Amino acid sequence: MEKIGLYVHIPFCHSKCAYCDFSSYAIGNAQNKIAIIRYVKALLKEIDLYEQTLKSVEVETLFIGGGTPTCIDGKYIHEIINHLRKSTKFSENAEVTIESNPGTITTEKLDHYLSAGINRFSVGLQTTDNNLLSSIGRIHDFNTFTTSFNAIRESGIKNINVDIMFGLPGQTSENLHHTLDTLIELSPEHISAYALKLEEGTPMYEAERKGLIQMPDEELERTMYHEIINKLKINGYYQYEISNFSKKGFESRHNLVYWKNKPYLGLGLAAHSKMEQIRFSNEIIMSRYLERIENGEKPSLDQTVISDSEDLFETVILGLRLNEGLNIPQLNERYGMDFLSENEAVISKLTAQGLIQITGDILKLTLKGIDLSNQVFLAFMND
Ligand code: SF4
């Protein structure tokens, strides 16, 4: 049985953050119950439409993402997971994660999550500074975060990720250190740290275009990134991926499915899948997604067959994101090739530039290569 990662998208949030271009709809505090009920019903039907696929695989990881999955009633999440468990085989030690936002978690919801077998939480904090949180349109303040974090911990969950951001307009080094110090004290098992990138069409993108806000320059952003790496390292978090840090044994197994270019199936609005070297994604417009499923049709858009050389390229650039790097003999076996000799020119060039290094069987980015990772990926792409 092929082992896969499963992703389920819940495209609802209380309100939209000012930087967000994810597929999510603001439902407000009153909650648009009818829209949620119709969506959950469609999702359950989509699971049925994938009956054959789901019967032939084993689910090693399930990630319920969004949006904010915890902003809808806990019974819906419970129902979705129960339906999946009836439709497919879960590995005995499957990692089951739910993405959450502070202020959206209640004791009743936690009961549902735990009964459904959720064993990992990912909580979006971003920063401990309340002014910054409000300036980027987050619905919560820092106190709300700690209340939610403690409630999750007290429920017995032993694997929590916290998302933070750096490079926010007006963010200082002191602010970043305060965020890191506070987090280290709370001791989550995993921390993701992403630089804010402004996406076209978002309110913050427009504000920057009009000169109303100013993004930090590249140098300050890089300095912050290095400060995060250093501080987390001396406090027991090892960097296993460019933007991800964990205590040993608490790496995100679901994200490792993506980074190791293994198969995954995405269910829900705009979800992406890659199964048997075929890539496909779901409808991105809610009305079309619902209509197609209600008509008994899978909601996927165009399928792309990935050639062996494209698959190899993806495995290389995704694998280079990992601190463990690429295992060359494994790569040779997976693709029936001699990777080093077939890519000799680009490997020699990047090695001479100090961007990659080969130690024994492992090819990985150097520290300089991590900073200039896009340059490395482009070099492999153009090779
Ligand atoms: S909570 Fe996440 S998905 Fe929802 S609007 Fe904010 S950034 Fe987007």
Bond preceding residue 211 cis, omega within 30 of 0? no
Report how far ligand 1's centroid is from the alpha carbon of 225 (Å).
22
Q: Please tell me the predicted confidence (pLDDT) of residue 28.
A: 66
Locate the ligand 1 atom nearest the alpha carbon of residue 14 and give its number: 4
What's the confidence (pLDDT) of residue 23?
82
Nearest CA to ligand 1 atom 6: 17
Residue nearest to atom 5 of ligand 1 (CA): 16
Q: Do domains 2-259 and 308-382 have the same CATH topology?
A: no
Rounded to whole angstroms, the Cα distance separating 180 from 316 reads 31
The predicted-structure confidence for 232-244, as pLDDT tens digits, reads as follows 999 999 999 999 9
3-state percent helix, strand, coil for the chain, nearest multiple of 5 = 45, 25, 30
308-382, what's its fold? Arc Repressor Mutant, subunit A (1.10.10)
State the distance from the centre of ligand 1 to the C-alpha of 100, rounded, in angstroms: 10
Q: 359 — alpha (psi -120 to 50), left (phi > 0) or beta?
A: beta
Instruction: Return the pLDDT at 25.
Output: 86
Ligand 1 pocket test: pick from 9, 15, 17 the residue with the most ligand atoms within 8 Å of its Cβ: 17
**Nearest CA, atom 3, ligand 1:** 67
Name the DSSP letter for residue 108: H
- Residue 236 CA to residue 247 CA, distance in Å, equals 6
Q: Whose CA is nearest to atom 2 of ligand 1?
A: 67
C-alpha 17 to ligand 1 mean position (Å): 5
Ligand 1 pocket, residues with Cβ under 6 angstroms: 13, 16-17, 20, 22, 24, 66-68, 101
Measuring from atom 8 of ligand 1, which residue has the nearest CA? 20
What spacing in Å lies between the alpha carbon of 277 and ligand 1's midpoint? 30
Parse the chain into domains and list their residue ranges.
2-259, 308-382
pLDDT in tens, the chain (383 residues): 899 999 999 999 988 999 998 888 888 654 588 899 999 999 999 999 999 999 999 999 999 999 999 999 999 999 999 999 999 999 999 999 999 999 999 999 999 999 999 999 999 999 999 999 999 999 899 999 999 999 999 999 999 999 999 999 999 999 999 999 999 999 999 999 999 999 999 999 999 999 999 999 989 999 999 999 999 999 999 999 999 999 999 999 999 999 999 999 999 999 999 999 999 999 999 999 999 999 999 999 989 999 998 999 999 999 999 999 999 999 999 999 999 999 999 999 999 999 999 999 999 999 999 999 999 999 988 77
Helices 344-352 and 373-382 pack at an angle, to 10 degrees, of 160
**What are the CA-CA distances from residue 178 to residues 58, 159, 183, 184, 231 (Å)?**
42, 23, 8, 10, 11
Res 160: pLDDT: 98
Q: Hey, which of 15, 19, 23, 24 would you mutate to test ligand 1's pocket, going by the most ligand atoms within 8 Å of its Cβ?
A: 24
Q: Where are the beta strands (DSSP E) in the chain?
A: 2-10, 12-13, 25-26, 57-66, 89-100, 120-126, 160-166, 190-195, 238-241, 244-246, 264-267, 272-275, 278-282, 300-305, 326-327, 356-359, 362-365
Atom 7 (ligand 1) nearest CA: 20
Q: Which of these CATH numbers, 2.60.40.10, 3.20.20.70, 3.30.420.10, 3.40.50.10440, describes 2-259?
A: 3.20.20.70
Q: Provide the pLDDT for residue 68.
A: 95
Q: 311 and 277 in contact (C-beta within 8 Å)?
A: yes
